[in-house]
Amino acid sequence: MKKLVLLIAALVVSVNTFSQVVADDVIGQFWTEKKEGKIEIYKENDIYFGKIIWRKDARLDTENPDEALRDRSVIGIVFMEDFVFDGGKWVDGEIYSIDNGNVYASKMWFEDDKDTLKLRGFVGLSLFGKTATLTRVKE
């Protein structure tokens, strides 16, 4: 009985160890909620960014507040900037909305596994915002 308890305890510890999130777990490609777009999250100097790499409706950035940028394609836009890893989440970032041209404070975290990423954009407090669910692209 004592060996069984020790075995179960060892399994619980090992499962918790393997499921812990590390900073670079977020690097990779993710589908948007409706799979109408694909983004790539990458790292530069311990800061995380995201860019649009594919969209079903590859259009121009017509909602950009900078008129000089309205003729550029949304493909390739770095719309997620300055995320830092802190306590299992990526925080202090900003996201640019190609739908309305606004920039929002943002944070992201894994929900159930390392393939389901939550991205929350908000104004002021996180309470006042919207969360999107991104799904890791499986090759």
Q: Which residues pair with 106 in a beta bridge?
A: 93, 121
**Predicted confidence (pLDDT) per residue in 13-68, tens digit:** 434 434 699 999 999 999 999 999 999 999 999 999 999 999 999 999 999 999 99
Ordered DSSP codes for 19-79: H---GGGG-EEEE-TTSSEEEEEEEETTEEEEEEEEETT--B-TT-SSGGGTTSBSTT-EE
pLDDT band (50, 70, 90) for residue 99: very high
Is the pLDDT at 5 greater than 50? The verdict is no
Instruction: Give the separation between CA 43 and CA 71, rounded to whole angstroms.
Output: 27
Is the pLDDT at 81 greater than 80? The verdict is yes
Q: What is the pLDDT of residue 1?
A: 56
Q: What is the pLDDT of residue 3?
A: 53
Least confident of 12-16, 36-40, 85-89, 100-104: 12-16
For the chain, helix (H) and strand (E) counts, in that order, are 1, 8
Q: Which two three-digit tokens encode residue 20?
A: 């812990």
| Nearest partner of 65 among 105, 96, 39, judged by Cα | 96
**Predicted confidence (pLDDT) per residue in 114-127, tens digit:** 999 999 999 987 78
**137: DSSP letter:** P
Mean pLDDT of 87-93: 96
